[in-house]
A = this chain, B = another copy of it.
């Protein structure tokens, strides 16, 4: 086990070095980078599609999609006319900073306002791998149940934003929003919860407002 831990520590240290390079690059460009993490099927790509549809007229957008297999998610975003690169991890359960770095070499996005990095569908492994993002965003659909923050505490502590998705399905579930709010508050006191739906109310306006606010703040910091 000792050797195992050594290997893991080395891998994470190397990852952090790469992540710092990515962070410095996007700090210079004033690009807001978000690392979206969730279970499979909580609606990350669907949220991004809705986001792109709303923002693409006014902002320069790019996406990096992580999956074990299939080019499907990047294609869904390319269909909306934004540049999107698919990283296939083979079997790995998370993206790492080297993969993101290599993707950036390959796709050459040009100057961006927002770069969305959609991680492999997994509530556990992606938590430890810094990708050079400004914030981790954890997405939890109301269908997954209101016990999840305490069952997967590391990601809910690491994410600055928790997006509660598929809120239009609330009437068909026993999901208690207050229960989730309390768990998130205890794991991440300064965390924000944004309730969204891409089909009907409440829509994604709080999420869009957060994005614009976070970008403006990053630009202010850059000037300061």
Chain A contacts with B in 150-175, Cβ cutoff 8 A = 150-154, 166, 168-169, 172
Residue interface mask A56-76, B partner, CB < 8 A = 1: 000000000001111010000
Q: Given A39-B41, A166-B143: A150 and B3 within 8 A (CB)?
A: no
A157 CB to nearest B CB, Å? 11
Closest to A123 in B: B40
Q: Does A125 belong to the interface (CB within 8 Å)? A: yes
Q: Does A91 belong to the interface (CB within 8 Å)? A: yes
* Contact indicator B93/A141 (Cβ below 8 Å): no
Copies of chain A in the complex: 2
Instruction: Categorize the interface residue count of chain A.
Output: 35 or more
Q: Does A47 belong to the interface (CB within 8 Å)? A: no
15 examples of A-B residue contacts, CB within 8 angstroms: A4-B11, A7-B7, A41-B145, A69-B151, A69-B152, A69-B153, A70-B147, A72-B147, A91-B124, A91-B154, A93-B124, A121-B123, A121-B151, A143-B143, A169-B169
Residues in A lying within 8 Å of B, measured CB to CB: 3-4, 7, 11, 39-42, 67-70, 72, 91, 93, 120-125, 140-141, 143-145, 147-148, 150-154, 166, 168-169, 172
